[in-house]
Amino acid sequence: MNRKGIIIVVSGFSGAGKGTIMKALTAKYDQYALSVSATTRSPREGEVNGREYFFITNEEFEKLIEEDGLIEHAKYVNHYYGTPRKYVEDKLSQGIDVILEIEIQGALQIKKQYPDAVLLFVMPPSATELEKRLRGRGTETEDVIRQRLNRAVEESVGIENYDYIVINDKLEDSVENVHQIISSAHLSPGRNLDFIETIRTQLKQL
């Protein structure tokens, strides 16, 4: 069979653990690739160009937009963030599923262009658990924590636009849930039209 890759969009509350799940997933299974976004914000300490993000200038970013070189992009707090098209399309044609960690606006842009994309929303098991995780990091000020919780309230409005929710209680379970969801998605008739057509033709020839 000619397996074509699927775009997996992952969103979720800050602190729900989506980054951790996706890192564990791609480490465990090699049929998944994590897309790297481009951004115009400056690298933070420890961030490496091409690993966390492609760090590019405003001019470079706007040129990519003009050339339709991004499959989605958005502006947050005066900085651009976007997903380069080439990487995604290359992987898909190699049969690799590409995971994009993006916010809801981007997720909906993707679904419009790629109706087959699978949209996941990662949630904590409870709101108090989310708060605990945000505080547990110990790196954020009270202000930032409040901002993230408020943003979670806003983001929670969009959950119904997603295909699946992943309730991140235990990491290993969440990794398996995501793997199950993607494996199942590969079994839709629409993604197996060639196979179905082959069987039909063979049956008629028997």
Binding residues vs its own copies (CB under 8 A):
121, 123-124, 126-128, 130-131, 149, 152-153, 156, 159-160, 162-167, 177, 180-181, 183-185, 187-190, 192, 195-196, 198-200, 202-206
Shortest spacing between CB 13 and its own copies, in angstroms? 8
Least gap, CB of 87 to its own copies (angstroms)? 26
Q: Which is nearer to its own copies, 56 or 152 (CB)?
A: 152
Question: Which CB atom, from 13 or from 80, has the smaller least distance to its own copies?
Answer: 13
What is the smallest separation between the CB atom of 9 and its own copies, expressed in angstroms? 14
Shortest Cβ 142–its own copies spacing (Å):
12
Task: Output 76 or 195, the one with its CB closest to its own copies.
Answer: 195
Q: Give the shortest CB-40-to-its own copies separation in angstroms.
A: 30
Which residue reads 């976004």 in tokens?
37
Q: Which is nearer to its own copies, 89 or 163 (CB)?
A: 163
